[in-house]
């Protein structure tokens, strides 16, 4: 799955909260310009999305090295959709100068999807993860695309280009910062990126056979070794035990033994460097630097006692149900990006006794608040005597965490495919445990759609965030 950077969503939320204006077409579609950039030889890449001059929702994001121009162009489309969604827009026209990206989403996507995401030649679709993420994001709002000529002098296109190049520059800076500590101690170091580990090993093996050894350093090492060997023999001859050095099976008092050992072990010649240094030896890093035992336990989030107490007062008949017997609730999380105050909202119905409006500790994040809302909803359902719950949320991140990525992360000992610890792991693992008590399914809903339950959860979460601010000031 493709992750949407938190900065993108934070910028969109700030734009929404400040009621930032947008550029609109006559038919009511807001529009934005997008671009992707990728630079040789490192292949650092970046994404740019432009909604307007100094707009809070503008995007300039670095991508991981090595990147490609096509992938950057597709991610620009994806980030634009999620940014528009976070801003509360319902219709967006995305303008791009990439014919590849436009054709992917307007022409080829439907055919690929119908063909199991394979091309007409039965090969896997390139950049499939990004294209499928765009396809899924189309459910959030109405999206249409327009191709614009590149370098035509269009202010919006030029601005998106600048944002993308700025992202690519940051990508290079991040890459060098990551590499610097690993190579700065070695002379004649160089920056080099490989597509696969095998390519890197092949390069090292080729270069290893060309290693030259500084004669002065080598002779100094040999002198130290010779001195150590002579000291060992001296101690053996005087019947002194040497810690860590195995004794010769022949008694040192045997005539000629000490002299023979010295003759056999004294260093009088040196093998050529090609025999000393093994070019075929490649040191492999461990898959994970965090022992599995460390992740076996975790600090569980505390469920506020008062929401459980309120849940016990509810009757099963007080809840609304789907035709297949799932109780319905709406969840939302709210966060002030600058103050980091956040809150949780869960809505079961108008003035429902089990409704939740709770503050969270500072500093908070949108994603953590969204996940906590899901967690609280499940625990409330359990206390209310419900066995099935449908959680309706406008957070694609929360839905994917709980319904898509969780099993994979759990199997991988709560690490991502990049061997990094899963973010918001505490909340996600608590949700996983809560699944033991209630059967839960998720439904993604549109934000700012006017749906009563969604608006109710939003109000409750904002009240929780306001309470978080009051607590932080007291």
Q: How much is the pLDDT for 247?
A: 43
Residues in the chain: 474
Beta sheet of 44-50, edge-to-edge order = 59-63, 44-50, 30-39, 91-96, 142-147
pLDDT greater than 90 at residue 109: yes
Range scoring the smallest mean pLDDT among 31-40, 223-232, 358-367: 223-232
Alpha-carbon distance 327 to 222, whole Å?
A: 78
What percent of the chain has a predicted confidence (pLDDT) above 70?
A: 77
Which helix (H) or strand (E) segment holds residue 327: the answer is strand 327-336
Spatial contact of 347 and 355, defined as CB atoms under 8 Å apart: yes
Lowest pLDDT segment from 37-46, 100-109, 375-384: 37-46
Split at pLDDT 50, 70, 90, the class of 205 is: low
**Beta-ladder partners of 153:** none
- The region that residue 420 occupies, defined by phi over 0 for left and psi between -120 and 50 for alpha, beta otherwise, is beta
* Main-chain phi, psi angles of 442, to 5 degrees: -120, 145
Query: 432 and 406 in contact (C-beta within 8 Å)?
Result: yes
Whose CA is closest to 23, among 98, 82, 87?
87
Min mean pLDDT across 33-47, 171-185, 445-459 is at: 171-185
Structure tokens at 63: 């991508």
With cut-offs at 50, 70 and 90, classify the pLDDT of residue 401. Answer: very high
**What is the Cα–Cα distance from 398 to 460, expressed in whole angstroms?**
18
d(CA 181, CA 74): 32
Q: In what order do the strands lie in the sheet with 327-336?
A: 356-360, 341-347, 327-336, 388-393, 439-444
Arithmetic mean of pLDDT over the chain: 82
For residue 39, the SS3 value is strand
Asked whether the predicted pLDDT for residue 22 surpasses 80, the reply is yes
Q: For residue 375, name the pLDDT band (cuts at 50, 70, 90).
A: very high
Contacts of 138 (CB under 8 A, 6+ apart): 81
Tokens describing residue 97: 């100068």
* Closest to 32 (Cα-Cα) out of 5, 59, 7, 8: 59
Using CA atoms, how far apart are residues 9 and 81, in angstroms rounded to an integer? 11
> In the prediction, which pLDDT does 203 show?
62
The mean pLDDT value for 216-241 works out to: 64
Write the CB contacts of 436 (distance below 8 Å, at least 6 apart in sequence): none
**Closest to 109 (Cα-Cα) out of 83, 128, 84:** 128
The pTM of the full predicted model, rounded to 2 decimals, is 0.46
Give the tokens for residue 304. Answer: 């506020």
Domains of the chain in sequence order:
7-170 (3.30.420.10), 305-472 (3.30.420.10)
């Amino acid at each position: 799955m493709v992750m949407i950077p938190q900065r993108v969503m934070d910028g969109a939320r700030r734009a929404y909260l400040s009621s930032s204006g947008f550029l609109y077409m006559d038919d009511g579609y807001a529009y934005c310009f997008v671009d992707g950039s990728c630079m040789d030889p490192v292949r650092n890449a970046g994404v740019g999305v432009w909604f307007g001059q100094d707009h809070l929702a503008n995007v300039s994001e670095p991508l991981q090295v090595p990147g490609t121009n096509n992938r950057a162009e597709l991610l620009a489309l994806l980030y634009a959709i999620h940014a528009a969604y976070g801003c509360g827009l319902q219709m967006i026209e995305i303008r791009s100068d990439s014919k590849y990206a436009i054709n992917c989403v307007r022409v080829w996507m439907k055919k690929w999807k119908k063909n199991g995401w394979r091309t007409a030649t039965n090969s896997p679709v390139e950049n499939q993860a990004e294209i499928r993420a765009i396809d899924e994001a189309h459910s959030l709002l109405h999206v249409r695309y327009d191709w614009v000529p590149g370098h035509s002098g269009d202010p919006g296109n030029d601005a998106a280009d600048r944002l993308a190049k700025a992202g690519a520059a940051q990508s290079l800076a991040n890459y060098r910062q990551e590499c610097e500590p690993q190579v700065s101690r070695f002379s004649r170091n160089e920056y080099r990126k490989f597509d696969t580990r095998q390519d890197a090993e092949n390069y090292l093996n080729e270069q290893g056979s060309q290693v030259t050894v500084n004669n002065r350093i080598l002779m100094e090492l040999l002198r130290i070794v010779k001195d150590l060997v002579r000291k060992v023999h001296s101690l053996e001859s005087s019947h002194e035990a040497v810690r860590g050095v195995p004794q010769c099976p022949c008694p040192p008092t045997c005539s000629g033994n000490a002299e023979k050992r010295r003759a056999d072990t004294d260093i009088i010649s040196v093998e050529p460097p090609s025999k000393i240094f093994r070019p075929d030896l490649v040191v492999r890093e461990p898959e994970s630097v965090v022992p599995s035992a460390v992740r076996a336990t975790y600090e569980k989030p505390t469920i506020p006692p008062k929401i459980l107490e309120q849940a016990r007062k509810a009757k099963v008949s007080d809840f609304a149900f789907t035709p297949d017997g799932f109780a319905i609730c709406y969840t939302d999380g709210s966060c002030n990006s600058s103050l980091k105050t956040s809150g949780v909202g869960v809505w079961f119905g108008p003035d429902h006794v089990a409704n939740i409006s709770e503050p969270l500790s500072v500093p908070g994040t949108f994603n953590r608040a969204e996940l906590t809302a899901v967690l609280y909803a499940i625990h409330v359902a359990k206390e209310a005597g419900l066995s099935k719950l449908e959680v309706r949320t406008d957070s694609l991140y929360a839905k994917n965490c709980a319904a898509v990525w969780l099993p994979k992360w759990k199997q991988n000992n709560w690490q991502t495919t990049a061997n990094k610890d899963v973010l918001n792991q505490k909340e996600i693992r608590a949700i996983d445990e809560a699944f033991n008590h209630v059967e839960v399914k998720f439904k993604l809903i549109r934000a700012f759609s006017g749906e009563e339950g969604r608006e109710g959860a939003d109000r409750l979460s904002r009240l929780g965030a306001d309470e978080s601010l009051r607590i932080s000031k007291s």
